Amino acid sequence: MRTPFFSKTYRSLVSILFFSVALVLLCISCEADETQTVTTFTNLTFEDNFDADGPIDETSWSYELGDGTDNGLPAGWGNNELQYYTDRPENIKVEGGMLHITVLEESFQSAAYTSARITTKDKVEQQYGRFEARIQLPWGQGLWPAFWLLGSNIDEVSWPQCGEIDIMEYRGQDPSTLIGTVHGPGYSAGEAVSKEYVLPNDRFDTGFHIFGIEWGPEYINFYVDDVLYNQITPEDVDGEWVFDHPFYILLNVAVGGNFVGPVGANTVFPQKMLVDYVRVYSRPN
């Protein structure tokens, strides 16, 4: 009866050895990258949980309407976009705890699509901190949803000198790929500093994900859910670092244009971006 005893002991020793090695490997793989600056911003400074059904809360948000010409841009918002933004409930409303931005295919003011774009300009602006939103994205070739920030000095210094931080951009035809980007003087549009993150075995249009940045002096960290997938610092940009002043928030879904290309024949309308909440935090006092 000894053999089974020794055999069992031997198996236990092998198991212990195996788990020890696995634990060591796990600790090596989860070790923090010490070159990255990580700060915890826990002081909530703004939140909209979209709890009240009806129109957006205009104490925090404003609509941006039309084709961009009212904002001093060429028609198509400077990117050859195809949508006309409205404030109609068909395109934007709060319902069931969510902000709904709905893209419709319809003839409207000489455009072929309608959608919505809102901003916190002159209402909610902050320098540094954590900016996050929980969002479910639309899907289909030619859709371009975004959760992004612009420098509050845009009217004085214009774009891209004001700076732009794209916390979440995405091409509707590529529903597993998130794109985080900064634009500034000398590194805007096609020259912007950008990184993609591919969601493993999942898609951004079939469930909610939290898109965020943690931003401080000389760094912007990009997160999706709990994954830190990029850090951008002054060394990464080929020009002046323009991220040391307040920024405001934008949410929109564009259609077509330079970034996503034409709308696909198989793209189904309507399409929706659902936003559960937007929250902003600062460093604790």
The distance of closest approach from Cβ of residue 47 to Ca ion in the complex, given in angstroms and rounded to an integer, is 10
Interaction residues for Ca ion, span 175-234 (CB under 5 A): none
Distance CA 202, CA 212 (A): 18
Where does the chain show beta strands of DSSP type E?
43-48, 62-63, 83-85, 92-95, 98-108, 111-115, 117-119, 125-126, 129-136, 143-151, 164-169, 177-183, 193-198, 209-216, 219-224, 227-232, 247-255, 271-282
Distance CA 232, CA 184 (A): 12
Query: Of 154-162, 188-196, 199-207, 269-277, which segment contacts Ca ion by CB under 5 A?
Result: 269-277
The distance of closest approach from Cβ of residue 51 to Ca ion in the complex, given in angstroms and rounded to an integer, is 6
Our answer to whether residue 169 is catalytic in this structure is yes
**Count of Cβ atoms closer than 10 Å to residue 258 Cβ:** 13
Residue 276 found at the interface with Ca ion (CB under 5 A): yes
Q: Which is nearer to Ca ion, 147 or 277 (CB)?
A: 277
> Which of 50, 139, 222, 281 is close enough to bind Ca ion by CB under 5 A?
50
Residue 49 found at the interface with Ca ion (CB under 5 A): yes
Total H helices, total E strands in the chain: 2, 18
Interaction residues for Ca ion, span 115-174 (CB under 5 A): none
Residue 97 found at the interface with Ca ion (CB under 5 A): yes
Distance CA 11, CA 265 (A): 60
Query: Of 110-118, 156-164, 258-266, 268-276, which segment contacts Ca ion by CB under 5 A?
Result: 268-276
- Residues of the shown chain interacting with Ca ion in the complex, contacts defined by CB under 5 A: 49-50, 97, 276-277
User: Catalytic residues, which ones?
Assistant: 164, 169
